């Protein structure tokens, strides 16, 4: 028997904002499909946590969204998990500096495939199921889609493309499917090669009217609002940035 519980697929949901969003939506009664690329242990641990709260409410699926074809396969597996899909959150993203003079074809493929190609083809694969449930797509954009960050041309281009895709889809997929975006500001500082020092963090906060970082629940709550509580909202990109986009 097909499940009557709403189901959402969240890409890049094993940690950081994706994991917080998964917990938030699970608390609101959704079944979760936790996508991960390499964080298998974290994804499985999150599923165990959620299933301990509500049995059979979360599964994990692996896919490398930088590889063509993986997004489409992920979409098919996600729909098969419960026989329905009510929401898609395109959260997975690649972010690292790559100045134009040093950027190569591999950088292009990794960033563009993960940040823009995968959301498109994943959305395409999920579309029939989303139409059946009058579901919604939420794309995680970025304030840098509007005003680029130095030495990140490919990342900024990918997020600008995703912002444009959000608006295009909102027109093309209506009235069956709503499409919106969330554009985070300073919530969690980047990790790994993209990490920033304290002086840079301070410079960001001085340009943020609320003069502080946000918390992951700010993003999770915005996503939940657009998925669950905004049936007459489509084609919007909600900035959750403490006002920073006013002072870029």
Q: Give the CATH number of the domain where residue 71 resides.
A: 3.40.50.720
Residue 61 is assigned to a structural domain of this protein: yes
Residue 190 is assigned to a structural domain of this protein: yes
Question: Does the pLDDT value for residue 2 go beyond 80?
Answer: no
Q: Would you state the pLDDT for residue 149? A: 87
pLDDT tens-digit readout, 41-88: 999 999 999 999 999 999 999 999 999 999 999 999 999 999 999 999
Residue 1 is assigned to a structural domain of this protein: no
User: Which residue range(s) make up the domain with 175?
Assistant: 7-241
Overall number of domains in the chain: 1
Catalytic residue among 36, 144, 155, 200: 155
Residue 246 is assigned to a structural domain of this protein: no
Residue 183 contacts residue 141 (beta carbons within 8 Å): yes
Is-catalytic flag, 155?
yes
Q: Tokens 């992920």 sit at which residue?
A: 74
Confidence of residue 190 (pLDDT cuts 50, 70, 90): low
Interacting residues of 219 by C-beta distance below 8 A, sequence separation 6+: 17, 20, 21, 140, 182, 184, 187, 240
Q: Calculate the average pLDDT of the chain.
A: 93
Question: Does the pLDDT value for residue 150 go beyond 70?
Answer: yes
Question: Does the pLDDT value for residue 138 go beyond 80?
Answer: yes
Tell me the mean pLDDT in the region 92-98. Answer: 93
Question: Does the pLDDT value for residue 193 go beyond 90?
Answer: no
The CA distance from 116 to 87, in Å, is: 18
Confidence of residue 1 (pLDDT cuts 50, 70, 90): very low
Percentage with pLDDT > 90 across the chain? 79
Tell me which of 238 and 210 has the higher pLDDT: 238
For CA atoms 108, 111, 113, 119, the dihedral sign is negative
Global pTM reads 0.94
């Amino acid at each position: 028997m097909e499940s009557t519980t709403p189901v959402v697929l969240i890409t890049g949901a094993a940690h950081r904002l994706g994991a917080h969003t998964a917990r938030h939506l699970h608390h609101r009664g959704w079944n979760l499909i936790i996508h991960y690329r390499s964080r298998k242990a974290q994804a499985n641990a999150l599923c165990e946590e959620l299933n301990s709260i509500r049995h059979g409410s979360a599964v994990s699926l692996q896919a490398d969204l930088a590889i063509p074809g993986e997004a489409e396969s992920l979409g098919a597996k996600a729909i098969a998990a419960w026989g329905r899909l009510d929401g898609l959150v395109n959260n997975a993203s690649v972010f690292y500096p790559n100045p134009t003079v040093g950027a190569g074809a591999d950088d292009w493929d990794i960033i563009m495939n993960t940040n823009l190609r995968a959301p498109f083809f994943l959305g395409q694969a999920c579309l029939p199921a989303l139409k059946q449930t009058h579901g919604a797509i939420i794309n995680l954009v970025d304030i840098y889609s509007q005003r680029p960050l130095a030495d990140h041309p490919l990342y900024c281009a990918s997020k600008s493309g995703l912002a444009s895709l959000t608006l295009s889809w909102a027109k093309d997929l209506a009235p069956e499917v709503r499409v919106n975006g969330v554009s985070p500001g300073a919530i969690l500082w980047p990790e790994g090669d993209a990490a920033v020092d304290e002086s840079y963090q301070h410079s960001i906060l001085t340009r943020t009217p609320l003069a502080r970082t946000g918390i992951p629940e700010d993003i999770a709550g915005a996503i939940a609002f657009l998925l669950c509580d905004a049936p007459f909202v489509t084609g919007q990109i909600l900035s959750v940035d403490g006002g920073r986009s006013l002072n870029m």
